[in-house]
Amino acid sequence: MSEKRCILCNRPYNYHYKMFGRGCLDNLYDLLKFRKPFKILNKEKYLCTRIAWRNHKFFLNKNKKYELAKKYIALSYLNKMNYSLLDNIKEKIQNDINDISIFSKEIKSTISFTLNDIYKLYNYSRKFDDLIKGLQSVDWEKIDKEMAENFIESMSFIFDVTKKTNPISYAIFYSMQYIFWQVVVVGGILTNKPLSAKLLSNSLALFGKEPENLEINDERTIKDIKDDGVFKKQIKELTEKYGKETGKFNLKDYEKDGVLLGFEGGDLLYALHDATMFVKAQKNDNNTWNLEIEINDTYDFTDFKELKEYADRENSKFTDIFSTLLNNCGVVSSEYGVIKKYDVKIKFNLNDYVVEY
Ligand SMILES: [Zn+2]
């Protein structure tokens, strides 16, 4: 005789029920809010009958009743996971349920699943909910590197590429990853890095939507760039190289793709990875410069691996985490389409700019 396994939890059982072990059947009575009867011997069959009644279906044969119950239980678990990405799937399962009648010849399964898969997904999402609640109260500025790493590692189960192949698990893992990046990274780790937070947030386009290209011109970002050592050095070199004789230059005349701007720290390093810059410059009589600056970058989270060399040098806990742990998560989320590429442009003018020689 072959061993019976519960179709919900997949554990072996040896009770007379057809589908569920006794513990799981109790849980299902709770989940569906039915009162468990005392006098009825086959409480599994009774549950399936009650489910059919709740769906206004009477006199179904046993097979239809049990198949209906499986779909309804799946739907109930999906309803407990509050992800709008599941709406379409839930609608299809509901339609399959509606089609079951005493007259229907076959039972449609527009969405195929096993209850065990649904049950495992439900448990993943509960674990995720608990962890994310804990992470919302973390002060990322104060914790040490090891703790920060442990927190992120505890979440790493949601970055599982193998869950991409099934539409239900794809929707659930997509949703969890989306929440992770919004809450933990944009709203937590990057709180004090507004440009990085803004660019990552824009990259997290809603499902099925492409992110819009961004044009940045807020005062804080422009000030950060203006004060940045790498930027200052680059402007100095360019004015010396192309502007010494003529007192003016347009970089596009010399360098078709602009010059590389590799920021070395802080918000700009996290935000812009392979940025290039164009400059149009005109010298004033008092030796200051009027500059028209255009910085372009393609936002691509998987670029973060290039932070590695900075991480070794800078010894900052987040540079390190971004270049290793979060980078790996980012690669998976890019495959899921949670994190998407787009173009960033930063344009501004600096008048009476003093080049420090
Ligand atoms: Zn079970």
pLDDT tens-digit series, residues 242-256: 998 899 999 999 999
- pLDDT of 317 strictly over 80: no
Instruction: Indicate the SS3 state at residue 119.
Output: helix
Distance 119 CA to ligand 1 centre (A): 10
Distance 22 CA to ligand 1 centre (A): 7
The Cβ of residue 314 has, within 10 Å, a number of other Cβ atoms equal to 17
Which pLDDT value is given to residue 96? 97
Distance 12 CA to ligand 1 centre (A): 8
Distance 234 CA to ligand 1 centre (A): 65
Distance 25 CA to ligand 1 centre (A): 7
- Going by pLDDT thresholds of 50, 70 and 90, the confidence category of residue 310 is low
Distance 19 CA to ligand 1 centre (A): 9
Distance 20 CA to ligand 1 centre (A): 5
Distance 131 CA to ligand 1 centre (A): 25
- pLDDT of 313 strictly over 70: no
- pLDDT of 66 strictly over 80: yes
Distance 169 CA to ligand 1 centre (A): 20
Give the integer Cα–Cα distance in Å for 187 and 305: 22
Q: 7, 114 in Cβ contact below 8 A?
A: yes
Distance 256 CA to ligand 1 centre (A): 65
Which pLDDT value is given to residue 247? 92
Distance 216 CA to ligand 1 centre (A): 54
Mean pLDDT lowest among 17-26, 70-79, 270-279? 270-279
Distance 68 CA to ligand 1 centre (A): 18
Distance 11 CA to ligand 1 centre (A): 6
* Residue 97 in tokens: 């349920």
- pLDDT of 88 strictly over 90: yes
Distance 80 CA to ligand 1 centre (A): 18
- pLDDT of 14 strictly over 70: yes
Q: What is the pLDDT of residues 121-173, one digit of tens each?
A: 999 999 999 999 999 889 988 888 899 999 999 999 999 999 999 999 999 99
Which pLDDT value is given to residue 204? 94
Q: What angle do CA 102, 106, 107 make, to 5 degrees?
A: 90
Which pLDDT value is given to residue 25? 97
- Going by pLDDT thresholds of 50, 70 and 90, the confidence category of residue 13 is very high
- Going by pLDDT thresholds of 50, 70 and 90, the confidence category of residue 307 is low
- pLDDT of 21 strictly over 70: yes
Rounded to the nearest integer, the mean pLDDT of the chain is 92
Distance 182 CA to ligand 1 centre (A): 35
- Going by pLDDT thresholds of 50, 70 and 90, the confidence category of residue 238 is very high
- pLDDT of 315 strictly over 70: no
- Which residue matches tokens 């070395």? 264
Give the integer Cα–Cα distance in Å for 37 and 176: 38
Instruction: Indicate the SS3 state at residue 155.
Output: coil
Distance 123 CA to ligand 1 centre (A): 13
- Going by pLDDT thresholds of 50, 70 and 90, the confidence category of residue 338 is very high
Give the integer Cα–Cα distance in Å for 201 and 356: 36
- pLDDT of 311 strictly over 70: no
Which pLDDT value is given to residue 1? 58
Distance 83 CA to ligand 1 centre (A): 25
Distance 30 CA to ligand 1 centre (A): 14
Distance 10 CA to ligand 1 centre (A): 6
* Residue 120 in tokens: 């495992």
Q: 124, 90 in Cβ contact below 8 A?
A: no
- pLDDT of 283 strictly over 90: yes
